[in-house]
């Protein structure tokens, strides 16, 4: 198979779909890898690094899409990239289609088969290709939130962990999954007063055992969550419903009643966001203020720590990518139901039920 790696073009996105080490694995398995020139420069990989492992360097994205059968990316294709996709292409990347009708329509029009990292599953019911970026985003959310709390950023002028004799900031984390747990790790490490809300008692027990009382675990009811949000200095939205739009758990009315200069960090923004006042931002212009509340809603947070993120992502995506190349996508999905769960679009139809439901599209099971 010919595997293509275009340079990412989303705002301040420096990650790359394949590291040279990953590219070498495809070459060792008998495949041809074509990489757009300078695709890896954002994480310190040169064109020579790719040539050294047997990849070919091409000058333009058009050449990549024209030659390749499988396109390996990091972020969802931008509309000009969607226009280069054809029916024979397999697209392997993050998609986050539920809040993005324009991208969905473009992929449907192309006829390609689009496999979303974020809906591939495993035997434990987890999302193994989303997990590494959830870890990064969870940890980054506290860094971003701490910076946004500074007075110069529009925040309350608080040091997250306080100092002796001065109380620490109150951090509320909504969602105790991978990103929420990693956010809690960072917040506790900085000395903040941390509460985590979730509706899964097993998740709450796991958090309680892990943090041994240094985190307050709270069952998420509307009343208790509202009370906590109104008293918080920093709120982290870490809610995930696999493949579907995130529920809006913090209303505009709640935001208007929060402390002036408090901060909201919406990790769920890739899936539409879990705060009613959220809208996607970029690394170039990461925050905005609504009713005196600072919002940080960058849709590709891990892109800011591109080298760490690229290695972590490749560690997870490489085995599935090799299966797709070695077997072809149809056989690979027949052999692995977890990989099959990653197919969101194929042959002009939405094949992931939650995406079809949220966007009002016809759902066509992949087997059909």
Band of residue 108 on the pLDDT scale cut at 50, 70, 90: very high
In this prediction, residue 318 carries a pLDDT of: 98
Per residue in 297-342, pLDDT tens?
A: 999 999 999 999 999 999 999 999 999 999 999 999 999 999 999 9
154: left (phi over 0), alpha (psi -120 to 50) or beta: left
pTM of the model: 0.93
pLDDT > 90 fraction of the chain, expressed in percent and rounded: 98
Q: Residue 27 burial (CB < 10 Å; 0-12/13-18/19+)?
A: middle
What crossing angle do the helices spanning 306-327 and 20-28 adopt, rounded to 10°?
Answer: 10
pLDDT at 11 over 90: no
Write the secondary structure of 48-110 as one string of H (helix), E (strand) and C (coil).
HHHHHCCCEEECCHHHHHHHCCEEECCCCCCHHHHCCCCCCCEEEECCCCCCCHHHHHHHHHH
Compute the distance between CA of residue 288 and CA of residue 154 in angstroms, rounded to an integer: 9
Per residue in 132-150, pLDDT tens?
A: 999 999 999 999 999 999 9
Compute the distance between CA of residue 232 and CA of residue 168 in angstroms, rounded to an integer: 11
> Burial code of 193-217, b = ≥16 C-beta within 10 A, e = fewer?
bbbbbbeeeebbeebbeebeeebeb
Which residues are identified as catalytic?
Answer: 96, 270
Compute the distance between CA of residue 155 and CA of residue 157 in angstroms, rounded to an integer: 6
Per residue in 268-296, pLDDT tens?
A: 999 999 999 999 999 999 999 999 999 99
Going by C-alpha positions, the residue among 243, 301, 13 that lies closest to residue 127 is: 243
Compute the distance between CA of residue 22 and CA of residue 322 in angstroms, rounded to an integer: 9
DSSP 8-state symbol, 355: H
What is the overall mean pLDDT for the chain? 97
Compute the distance between CA of residue 14 and CA of residue 8 in angstroms, rounded to an integer: 7
């Amino acid at each position: 198979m010919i595997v293509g790696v275009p340079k990412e073009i989303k705002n301040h996105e420096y990650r790359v779909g394949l590291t040279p080490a990953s590219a070498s694995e495809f070459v060792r398995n008998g495949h041809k890898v074509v990489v757009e020139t300078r695709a890896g420069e954002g994480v310190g990989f040169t064109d020579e690094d790719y040539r050294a492992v047997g990849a070919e360097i091409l000058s333009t994205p058009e050449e990549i899409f024209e030659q390749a059968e499988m396109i390996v990316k990091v972020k969802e294709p931008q509309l000009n990239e969607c226009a280069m996709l054809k029916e024979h292409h397999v697209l392997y990347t993050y998609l986050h289609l539920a809040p993005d009708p324009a991208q969905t329509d473009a992929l449907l029009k192309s006829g390609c088969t689009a496999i979303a990292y974020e809906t591939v599953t495993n035997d434990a019911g987890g999302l193994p290709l989303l997990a590494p970026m959830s870890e990064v985003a969870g940890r980054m959310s506290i860094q971003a939130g701490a910076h946004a709390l500074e007075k110069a950023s529009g925040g309350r002028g608080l040091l997250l962990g306080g100092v002796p004799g001065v109380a620490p900031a109150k951090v509320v984390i909504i969602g105790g999954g991978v990103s929420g747990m990693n956010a809690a790790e960072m917040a506790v490490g900085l000395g903040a007063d941390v509460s985590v809300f979730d509706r899964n008692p097993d998740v709450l027990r796991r958090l309680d055992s892990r943090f041994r009382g240094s985190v307050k675990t709270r069952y998420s009811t509307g009343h208790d969550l509202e009370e906590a949000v109104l008293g918080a200095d920093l709120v982290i939205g870490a809610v995930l419903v696999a493949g579907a739009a995130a529920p809006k758990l913090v209303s505009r009315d709640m935001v208007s009643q929060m402390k002036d200069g408090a901060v909201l960090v919406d990790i769920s923004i890739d899936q539409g966001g879990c705060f009613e006042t959220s809208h996607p931002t970029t690394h170039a212009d990461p925050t905005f203020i609504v009713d005196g509340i600072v919002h940080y809603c960058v849709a590709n947070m891990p892109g800011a720590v591109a080298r760490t993120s690229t290695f972590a992502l490749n560690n997870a995506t490489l085995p599935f990518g090799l299966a797709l190349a070695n077997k072809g996508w149809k056989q690979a999905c027949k052999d692995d139901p977890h990989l099959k769960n990653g197919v969101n679009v194929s042959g002009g139809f939405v094949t992931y039920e939650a995406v079809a439901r949220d966007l009002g599209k016809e759902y066509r099971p992949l087997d059909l």
